[in-house]
A and B are shown apart, each in its own frame.
Chain A
Amino acid sequence: MRDEALTGGFADAPVEAARAFRAALSALARPGRIETIGGAAAPAPVSEAAATLLLTLCDGETPLYLAPSHDSPALREWIAFHIGAPLTDRAGAAFALGTWEALAPLDTFARGTSDYPDRSTTLIVEVPRLAPEGKRLTGPGIETEARLNLPEVAAFRANRAGFPLGWDFFFTAGTALAALPRSTVVEDA
């Protein structure tokens, strides 16, 4: 096991995880809002925000899928040491991490069942940058409308059409975090 796998955890786990969760809650409750989180460092190419989100939300009870863009021995070791999440395939994942291209096609991830729509995959999507511009967002959590530079529209429109089933997304870039729950309506600007 390399040294890299042993470093990069929270210095003060209860407090840093609490702050990171509040940022994640705020981002998901207000789609399009960009929050800043940090404190964790995972092997490249994982962003600081994504590493912090993994430490905050994942543990031995949450099967995790690593898309080809992020699957590396170094990251596997880091996850084994810090999180203990079992690595799994797409269908069994509670969380998935990767770039938008590597995570496609989304259809293979769990969308929940009509009895238990919460049993669906939460996707952590690494993007080059996040900015409050581009696609138009409306729905719960948004007073009038919000804007976010999402990679596309069709996938999110299909996701919304399946409500209450669907996937929930976190987008991470550097220390920036934004989110898109299944309830949001996404349109071209």
Chain B
Amino acid sequence: MSAYNFAYLDEQTKRMIRRALLKGIAIPGYQVPFASREMPMPYGWGTGGVQVTAACLTPEDRLKVIDQGADDTTNAVSIRKFFETTAGVETTERTRAATVIQTRHRIPEEPLGEDQILVYQVPIPEPLRFLEPRETETRRMHALEEYGLMHVKLYEDIARHGAIATSYAYPVKVEGRYVMDPSPIPKFDNPKLESAAIQLFGAGREQRIYAIPPHTRVVSLDFEDHPFVASKADHACDLCGADHSYLDEVIVDDAGGRMFVCSDTDFCATRQAEGHRGRLSPEAAE
């Protein structure tokens, strides 16, 4: 513990990240460049999120880390251990008990409160990147609020598939100004981007930080005749019976057997503890 500065990063790096975070909050949805550092984990493992979390943590915080909704996957476990070692903060798996939540590709099912911070790990922060590879051009497009290309992309979805086929990293417009990539969360989570919590986004490899303050208008892009739909698998959770949570499909045998379970492990475990049962719960299956 004492071999590291509090929360791993040196103070000058934290100041630089903190200044970027404040500008991000002041300009909701705008990607602030920052001098991302090498972290003791590979790019793609949440180096951006880890740097943002490190800049935010205080010794009083209780940290929760989720990967695709789960507290117990490799990425979540290793980042949790990292901050237990370098910051000495308490950790938790309960959404309600956490003050800072770092997430990869999900927003917890339980609505977040005023005093919580949600930190997203972001692989590609630029929503226009796959449409226009040049940074100079996408920066200009944001400056001029020139987002026609994004609507053409969504229109082409409709022309080809009959519906908007984008199912994750679904672009949103923040406070009527910047089009933003919400990180690869399923579009089921998009309505939850309007939250009481502070939402911070960190992209380590791409060196960008952006943010959504609490109670900020976040609109998923769509068309009048093809409105945005927050879709999910048309099933209930097989363990807790929830019909309103985002589900993972799990193949259970080699004969086409499958089950659907909540991707948010804390949400599912809490419901099971409250006595909710699904189709494949041990009691129900007996």
Contacts and interface: CB of A to CB of B under 8 A. Distances in A.
B92 interface: no
Contacts of A122: 22
A59 to B, nearest CB: 5
A62 B198 CA distance: 25
B26 A181 contact: yes
Interface string A165-189: 0101000000000000111000000
Contact of B28 (A22, A24, A183): A183
Contacts, number: 117
A144 B27 CA distance: 19
Nearest to A114: B143
B102 to A, nearest CB: 15
Given A57-B19, A182-B26, A14 B6 contact: yes
B30 A117 contact: yes
B28 A140 contact: yes
Contacts of B270: none
A21 B18 contact: yes
Nearest to A13: B11
B15 A57 contact: yes
Given A21-B56, A142-B215, A183-B26, A29 B198 contact: yes
Best-buried of A14, A141, A168 by chain B (most CB within 10 Å)? A14
Best-buried of A122, A166, A181 by chain B (most CB within 10 Å)? A181
B27 A117 contact: yes
A59 B15 contact: yes
A19 interface: yes
B175 A140 contact: yes
B215 A181 contact: no
A24 B23 CA distance: 12
B16 interface: yes
Best-buried of B18, B20, B143, B216 by chain A (most CB within 10 Å)? B18
B22 A143 contact: no
A15 B60 CA distance: 10
Contacts of B143: 113-115
A interface bracket (residues with beta carbon within 8 Å of B)? 35 or more
A35 interface: no
Contacts of B56: 18, 21-22, 25
A18 B26 contact: no
Contacts of A62: 19
A51 interface: no
A120 B6 CA distance: 30
A116 B142 CA distance: 10
A79 B98 CA distance: 37
B25 A25 contact: yes
B62 to A, nearest CB: 13
B170 interface: no
A113 B142 CA distance: 12
A17 interface: yes
Pick the 3 closest A-B CB pairs, nearest first: A14-B6, A181-B26, A141-B213
Interface of A: 13-15, 17-19, 21-22, 24-26, 28-30, 56-59, 61-62, 94, 113-118, 120, 122, 139-143, 163-164, 166, 168, 181-183
Interface of B: 5-7, 11-12, 14-16, 18-28, 30, 32-33, 55-60, 139-140, 143-144, 175, 177-178, 196, 198, 211-217
